[in-house]
Chains A and B, each alone.
Chain A
Amino acid sequence: MSKTLTFVLMDAPFENSRTVTGLRLIDIAAHRGYHLKVFAYEGAVSLAFKEQKPHANAVHGHDIDEENHPLPHKWIEALHKTASAHGGSLDWVNCGLCVDERGVNNAIECTRRGTPADLWSFACESENTLVISTS
């Protein structure tokens, strides 16, 4: 039976290992065919910001291609494909007011703008909800 889980993310990209943990948990569930709902709140809305750019790394002596810098919006796109490939889905909503405050409206197409009503709707459809909040 297909199951549904909701995740709430709150940390801004890059700053905290909680985001990595959250995305790894979503990845595991995506490989298991779950229907996944993500509500990105506060700084987490920047995860889907399309204007993130990779860079070279002089400390490693790598040019931009060798460094192959990972970007959160690329991880989200990969999670979306993984969920679909395993019979599940990923519905990723960015809190609209949080997006406006941060000026990160240019989000990747596989995410959408939403409101707290989406989170409540997600939670009602889900077996459970995991909040990964800032500390």
Chain B
Amino acid sequence: MKVLNILSTPWRATLEEQDDTVVWLTHAMIGAGAEIDVLLTGEAAAYAAPNLNASGLTIGGMPQTQPPDINRDLNSLLEKGRQVFVCQHAMTQLGLHEDQTSPSITPLLSHELAPLLDNYDQIWQW
């Protein structure tokens, strides 16, 4: 079975997590044998930008020493043979251009989205 995780909300649970919660879950399920790809859309399309840096959070003098490294975790999905797509329309709405996308992430035009969904048995929207 193949699943497409559509991720539209970024930076969940930053106070207590050191990952994106859905990217982490995707990795954990792949470790259990799952075939899951990821489509970034909505505000999560910003994850396609390189050089993301979530460090610097300090509250009450206590720093988050291991902040989420989204670029690393998405690249790691690709290294595991999975695919990561980004909706180009969502990137445009965020003021990002195709040349600002990590080269390993596949940009998709709006008319390419529906055919993509046909490749999967289940679609999970996060």
Which residues of A are in contact with B by a Cβ distance under 8 Å? 8, 41-42, 101, 115-117, 119-121, 123-124, 128-129, 131, 133-135
Contact = CB atoms under 8 A, between A and B. Distances in A.
A116 B32 contact: yes
29 contacts: A8-B124, A41-B25, A42-B13, A42-B21, A115-B32, A116-B25, A116-B28, A116-B29, A116-B32, A117-B28, A117-B31, A117-B32, A119-B29, A120-B33, A120-B34, A123-B1, A123-B3, A123-B122, A124-B1, A128-B122, A129-B3, A129-B124, A131-B124, A133-B22, A133-B125, A133-B126, A134-B9, A134-B12, A135-B9
Interface in B2-43: 3, 9, 12-13, 16, 21-22, 25, 28-29, 31-34
Contacts of A116: 25, 28-29, 31-32
A5 to B, nearest CB: 11
Nearest to B12: A134
Contacts of A117: 28-29, 31-32
Given A128-B122, A129-B124, A133-B126, A115 B28 contact: yes
